[in-house]
Amino acid sequence: MNTPVSAVAVITGGASGIGWKTAERLLETRLDVACALVDLNEAQSAELVERFGEDRVRFVQCDVTDQSAVEAAASQIEEWNRPISMLVTCAGIQIVGDSFELSAEKWQKVLGVHLNGTFYWCQAAGRAMRDGGGGSIVTVGSIAQDFGFPGRAAYTTSKMGIAGLTRVLAVEWAPAGIRVNQVIPGMVETPLFKRAAAQGIVDAEAAALEHALGRLGTTGELAEAIVFLLSDQSSFITGELVHVDGGFRAQRLE
């Protein structure tokens, strides 16, 4: 007998990488949860639909940099007639370049996806959570926000901005029963990282050694941390920036 679906988890950037893996883990461990995968491209979404059914998985196309598109997508998800009670903001982009030459267009593009997109979705999903009695939000940062990596001015700035936003919303929305935390990954074997390695932007072997554990993280490891922060097991945790980085930060701070 199937368990009735009682809540919806919205995952931006959900069609691949950490977002996709988080959806998979939620669907495997929470039979009462459905996932709305928000992305520009459908990518792997069809696999989850096939495995778990259209009643529990939906793909919603959305440009997270467009506030009106975000609001329309949130309304589309709410038409599923189940309350949005979880949000994970995984949508990401990385443009690397000399800060002397970084164009306004590239700067705005990175901040648009990370910072604006995170705020727009927190606002849209947060309203639904407020009206539904509460929920949990996990934003996704980066180890880059803790250090000055050359060529990543827009990326680092946007991720630091998300950290500030996370803390503000955690305090502001606590009375509404909404918890907000940030996961800060080390370097993870995502499609984004693999593309950067293929383009020579990053040396994968050298990157692995930057972590105390001597390896890169996996999308599954990040998904487990996110699922924990979404769950009632973390009911007394909010406003936290949680490093899941294989000791990257600890090793750098020695």
Find the radius of gyration of the CA atoms of the chain: 17
Tell me the whole-structure pTM to 2 decimals: 0.95
Q: For 73-99, write each residue's pLDDT tens digit.
A: 999 999 998 899 999 999 999 898 999
Within the chain, strands assigned E span 7-12, 33-39, 57-61, 84-89, 135-140, 178-185, 241-244
- DSSP one-letter string for 19-85: HHHHHHHHHHH-TTEEEEEEESS-TTHHHHHHHH-TTTEEEEE--TT-HHHHHHHHHHHHTTSS-EE
Res 6: pLDDT: 86
* Model confidence band, residue 210 (pLDDT cutoffs 50, 70, 90): very high
**Cα gap 125→89, rounded to integer Å:** 11
Res 190: pLDDT: 86
Q: For 18-42, write each residue's pLDDT tens digit.
A: 999 999 999 999 989 999 999 998 8
What strands lie across the sheet with 57-61, from one edge to the other?
57-61, 33-39, 7-12, 84-89, 135-140, 178-185, 241-244
Catalytic residue among 119, 120, 155, 173: 155
Res 1: pLDDT: 44
**If you search the block for the tokens 């097991």, which residue do you land on?**
233
As to burial, measured by CB atoms within 10 angstroms (0-12 exposed, 13-18 middle, 19+ buried), residue 106 is middle
Could you confirm whether 120 is annotated as catalytic?
A: no
